[in-house]
Structure 1
Amino acid sequence: MKKIIITGMIIASGMALLFSCNKGSEDVLKASTTCDTTAVSFSTQIVPILQNNCYRCHGSGNTGSGAGILLEGYSNVKTWVDNNYLVNVVKGSSGYILMPFGGPKMSDCNVNTIAAWVNQGAKNN
C-alpha cells in the first residue's frame, strides 16, 4: 500500500511539472534570453562585453599581445569605432581577422550589441 502511494505521488509530481511548462512559461523563458539592442549603453553593456572578450589581449594590464590596440576606456574604444575596425573584427568581415583572436567567436547578441551601439552614435553613456 505504501509503495502505491509513493508511486502515485511521484506520478502526480511529474504531471504537475509537465503541465506547469506551458506557453506562458515558454514566453517568459524567451523574454529572458532575448537580446535587447534598442538603447545600448557603453558603461553597462559594451564595457562588460569588452572585459569578457577583449581585455585579455587589449586591456591596460597587457604588455605582450594585442598589437598595441587598447580597448580599455571610452576614448580608446572610440578610436577603433571611428575607423570602423571594431565592428568589422567582431563580425569577422572580409579582410579583417575575427576577434577575439584564438578564442571562440562572440555570441551573436554581443556582436549585435556592439554594432547597435555604434549605429546609435557610440555614445559615452
Structure 2
Amino acid sequence: MTTDPSFAIPAHPQRRFPHGSGVEYEGGTEFRLTPEGERATPELADTVVGILANGPYRYGDFHDLPMPLWLVRDEETTDVFRVAVRDGTVRLHVLPTTESDGLQRFFERLCGATGGQSWSVRRHVDGQ
C-alpha cells in the first residue's frame, strides 16, 4: 500500500455563476489515484460504487456523461468533492470547501477495498 501520500490542497476552485448557465469552477486541484497494476475503468467504477455504498457517504451520480462521475459528501468529515473514473484512474476533484481529511479517508477506503494494492497519487493544480 502507498504510505501516507499528501492530500494537501494548495488551490481551491472559485465558483462562478454566469448569467443563465448554472455554476462553473475556475482553477483548483485534482488528485489522480492510479493502481499499481492496470485495472479497467468499469472495474474501478464498480470499486468506487462499492466504497460509496458502504458509507459514510451521501452521493449522486451523473448519468449522461461519457465517464463515471459522482458528487460525494463524506458524512464523517463533511467534505464534499467529486469522484471520477477515467483512463484507469480514480480522480478526486477538490471543490471550494473540500479539506484534505475527506480525500485521505476515501483513499484509505480505496486501498482497503482493493486488498491493499499499491496506488500512486499525483496531484494536479490548474495553472501549474
Q: Provide TM-score, normalisation by structure 2.
A: 0.28
Q: Which one has a larger percent helix, Structure 1 or Structure 2?
A: 1
Q: Which one has a larger percent strand, Structure 1 or Structure 2?
A: 2
Structure with the bigger RCO (C-alpha within 8 Å, sep 6+) is 2
Structure number with bigger Rg: 1
